[in-house]
Chains A and B, each alone.
Chain A
């Protein structure tokens, strides 16, 4: 698996001469990068749950990564990286929410709070669920699989899929909803069986 586009814009490495940047470097850089990297997808999913919109989640992941990076020295390697990162991410969401407070579709703080907790709790079997999803995608009827693939091309929305297929928007939404439900149930079943 490769990494995600949402990696941070990192400050130029030109500055550090003579160990001047020593204070902002984590205690064990290699280990930190590893934790950082493997937390990218969980963090993205965490942020998506808090915002409901992939575009916001992407943007916030960038911001969160920058903060994680700038705070890397304060991370205590003996502790839970993901939980630490989630606190930063949650804070970024609240900040973001305040900046765009006029947006009528933002979630409430209370909602963000409950979902954040729930997401952290549900993070543990994320990888199992992802593998189950892969298997479940294979089992979809080819027509459904194609529709889902079209829908999840980067930057494509259901509306555009509908336009591309020349089908009514509502009908496409319904189909997508049905397929997602099938996938969700399939994942549940596989997790329960394993």
Chain B
């Protein structure tokens, strides 16, 4: 243990014991204790000493105590009230209380126990009450069933069909947010200690602020929010901010963007109403509808794509005998890769993954059909497609498929071991929606946990994110279990799941690795330990929206909304090329590529951002009367959400000195350009 560390913690501990600890001191003490195991140990020992002295003093023989008090004399004005209370309770109340307790306990078996108060004096020496204070029990923890109301009224979720293993004590522990968060923290720390790593330091406010904005709203904070947050002295400002951001309209928008991309990809080629799907998702997330409801509506939607936004999901995937629909449904909602089993068995077929299983799932989509709605166009003199509808035709019976040897097989609709009636009168997709959200709810919950976790940490608990199953090692099975349990118990409350994760210690760690956790490097193929925040490249949408927040470049051009949105789409289109394959999945060529770099550096948007046009952030900062350092600081806060480092100030100031003498554009534009093109800008850390 380093001397520095003791030097710092002892005064804090002493102040705590003497009730003179300031809020700042308390914060520092908390930080030390949370971050350093040595500090934690010292804290507990110190408080044990303090507590033992306090406790034992109260147990001193009463007469001694009185005598001592009389000797001390001087405290006559303050002492008696409490002292009397102690004496009264310790001699009267205590023994009476203990006696009453014993009586109640024994009343059932030994009703003949005398209630004569004469027993009282002996009680102090009662073998039961003076039992040695030792605790060598190493037996497993029992569960505490505290009466905490659950947010879900469904009784069945309290007792899931597959109860958690004994190790998961949390199963019946209260489901309030604080308990879930502390459960995450507890499991995380146990993992760190098992793996012999130490978590990184807590992220600084500026680092964390940018992170939580990007993750919850999809863009960086504007400089005003940065200023406000950094100046905020409240100690719970982080949790207050999380609450605020979750009520921000961009929160639902961000979730809708993410899930739209997952459900139908980024390509705009498909003949679907992407905006309609987006709007449906946005509403679901804004109202925080249970995830089970959203999934059920997506899977069982019927109707005209223009009116029923959720229908666009399957409309995008019903080609090719609904093979894409089957694969995407399993991959997105259940994080299961079934498309390979379309033609061959999964390498590990113990967890399903057989051909018949693929086709049994596929059979649920057999009735679904796309209908094109045509209308006569008098201008062209032709019937033209005006929209498409998703309907279920009343068709029954099995689905036919050919196996590897060319033998024709049949598959009936079956999911999670439940076969449904294959009659034409039964709406199969509605049945599938029901089964996924009931029989399959643990799988659905686990998949949601994995995706959400990966969203915040850049790494899932299982990786690849959408290939869960016994063949994929889980980085933290107990945590996965606990969170899955909690999601089911919360009735699939996505916002709460996000809140638990964002409130956990791991989410507040710095992204800077230390010597004690350098081994935690998932890029090298190791299972992630989450002992620090992993870097996440910004998505195309995050990058674009962040550029707008940082620069207000959109205000420099045509500034009405449609134009801005058109600009956004055009800009985004350059960032990815859809690689369409059989499963209708698309990959984006994104993530620090050369093309992206060039676009950032020379693209129209960035040029406009540094053009110093009225209304832009650069212009607003440049035209103030502040000194140069302040202006650089404002630019740094606008782009990176932090203050400039000294080295940056030195370089920029010396550069600016030269530029000032040259005519032309606003020299601060170059500073801003440098910040916007830094790797730091394009990464969420």
A residues with CB within 8 A of B? 1-5, 7-13, 16, 19, 21-22, 25-26, 29-30, 32-34, 37-39, 41-42, 44-45, 48-49, 52-54, 57, 67, 69, 71, 74-76, 78-84, 87-88, 91, 94, 104-105, 107-115, 117-119, 122-124, 126-127, 129-130, 133, 148-160, 163-164, 173-174, 176-177, 180-181, 183-184, 187
Contact = CB atoms under 8 A, between A and B. Distances in A.
Contacts of B18: 157-159, 173, 176
Contacts of A117: 186, 189
Nearest to A90: B182
Contact of A173 (B20, B86, B133, B189): B20
Contacts of A122: 41, 44-45, 48
The dominant DSSP class at the B interface is: helix
A172 to B, nearest CB: 9
Interface residues of B, number: 96
Contacts of B179: 91, 94
Interface in B142-194: 142, 144-146, 173-174, 178-179, 181-182, 185-186, 189
Contacts of B21: 52, 105
Contacts of A181: 10
Which one of B43, B75, B104 has the highest number of Cβ atoms from chain A below 10 Å of its Cβ?
B104
Contacts of A76: 142
7 contacts: A33-B102, A44-B51, A69-B101, A80-B141, A158-B17, A164-B72, A180-B49
B139 A80 contact: yes
A149 B64 CA distance: 12
A112 to B, nearest CB: 8
A125 B58 CA distance: 22
Nearest to A70: B147
A1 B86 CA distance: 16
Given A19-B108, A37-B128, A126 B135 contact: yes
A39 B56 CA distance: 15
A80 B49 contact: no
Contacts of A118: 40-41, 43-44
Contacts of A155: 78-79, 81-83, 86
B34 A111 contact: yes
B65 A30 contact: no
Contacts of B145: 71, 74
B51 A124 contact: no
Interface of B: 10-11, 13-21, 23, 26, 30, 33-34, 40-41, 43-59, 65, 68-69, 72-75, 78-79, 81-83, 85-86, 89-90, 93-94, 97-98, 100-109, 124, 128-142, 144-146, 173-174, 178-179, 181-182, 185-186, 189, 235-236, 505
Contact of A177 (B10, B56, B104): B10
A7 B101 contact: yes
Nearest to A184: B49
Given A10-B97, A45-B48, A33 B105 contact: yes
A32 to B, nearest CB: 7
A189 B79 CA distance: 35
A183 B13 CA distance: 14
B100 A10 contact: yes
A152 B56 CA distance: 9
A81 B101 contact: no
The dominant DSSP class at the A interface is: helix
Contact of B140 (A79, A113, A173): A79
A180 B50 contact: yes
A177 B178 CA distance: 34
A127 B134 contact: yes
A52 B75 contact: no
Contacts of B68: 149, 153
Contacts of A159: 18-19
B58 A4 contact: yes
Given A26-B105, A149-B57, A159-B18, 15 more contacts: A4-B94, A29-B106, A54-B50, A80-B137, A84-B142, A88-B146, A108-B235, A114-B185, A119-B44, A133-B49, A153-B83, A157-B19, A159-B19, A180-B46, A184-B45
Contacts of A83: 137, 141-142
A79 to B, nearest CB: 4
A78 B139 contact: yes
A152 B69 CA distance: 11
A21 B623 CA distance: 79
Contacts of A32: 105
Given A153-B72, A153-B79, A25 B131 contact: no
Contacts of B69: 153
Given A5-B86, A13-B104, A181-B10, A82 B135 contact: yes
Contacts of B186: 113, 117
Given A3-B124, A5-B86, A84-B144, A115 B43 contact: yes
B47 A154 contact: no
B119 to A, nearest CB: 14
A41 B21 CA distance: 25
A184 B105 contact: no
A78 B137 CA distance: 9
Contacts of A42: 133, 135
A139 to B, nearest CB: 15
A110 B141 contact: no
Contact of B19 (A13, A53, A75): A53
A10 B101 contact: yes
Nearest to A3: B129
Contacts of A3: 94, 98, 124, 129
A96 B19 CA distance: 19
Contact of B82 (A37, A78, A111, A154): A154
A28 B40 CA distance: 37
A2 B104 contact: no
A48 B44 CA distance: 9
Contacts of A37: 128-129, 131
A42 to B, nearest CB: 6
Contacts of A153: 57, 65, 68-69, 72, 75, 79, 83
B409 to A, nearest CB: 52
A45 B129 contact: no
A49 to B, nearest CB: 4
A110 B185 contact: yes
